[in-house]
Chains A and B, each alone.
Chain A
């Protein structure tokens, strides 16, 4: 009563799957991507020092710019009084 139709798979199913996999590039998880990113980031020390100095320079110069702006603003306030 419960007999069902059944057909076996093609003899070459496994081979077809394997050969197809050669055309597909594996994707990595976010964690694996992060790991590979940081392992690639093994630059010599001077290469770290230079960008750090540049970054620090930018930050300081922007802050100085802001400070002068504020003093200018305060000065103008006094002048208006």
Chain B
């Protein structure tokens, strides 16, 4: 089962094969978790999103239509991104709460730790303020190191557009981090 192609696994899942589903989950769960994490910046939430997406795939296997041309990986990345954005929309105050944590206490290590957390949270806030297309291009093409051609397929755009989105996202981030 390990060497079976995705399309075959999906056909088997459509026929109710738990073994095929298991192979697909083992093959991609870390990859999709990683994408979800880039959006929600929280392990438990990213795991929940990954689990939710895979279980929906199990429940409604016919939702993936190979004849539309997109590979399973591309299609499922879009599903994960949509679920992550949806989750963020419902919990948008999360990052603001982190940035407002006070650097308190005499313990220098703890203070340094909180400071680092705050800086990273500020970066998350700045990323969250970017337009959706720039966020997606940055998360996939820059942070996840997915080839630009693949990112272009996921975003249904061109490779040059992806490059320019990443460039603009970085410029906006630099500006944004000064203002946060």
- A residues touching B (Cβ–Cβ < 8 Å)? 1-10, 13-14, 16-18, 20-22, 24-29, 32
Contacts and interface: CB of A to CB of B under 8 A. Distances in A.
Interface string B18-47: 100110011001100110011001010011
A7 B59 contact: no
Contact of A17 (B41, B46, B55, B173): B55
A29 B37 contact: no
Nearest to B29: A14
Contacts of B43: 7-10
A21 B58 CA distance: 7
The contact size tier of chain B is 35 or more
B170 to A, nearest CB: 7
Given A13-B29, A26-B16, A28-B62, A5 B120 contact: yes
Contacts of A24: 55, 58-59
B126 to A, nearest CB: 10
A32 B62 contact: yes
Nearest to A24: B59
A39 B123 CA distance: 58
Contact of A13 (B16, B51, B60): B51
Given A5-B124, A13-B33, 16 more contacts: A4-B124, A5-B120, A6-B37, A8-B43, A9-B34, A14-B25, A16-B51, A17-B29, A17-B54, A18-B22, A18-B25, A20-B51, A24-B59, A25-B59, A29-B62, A32-B62
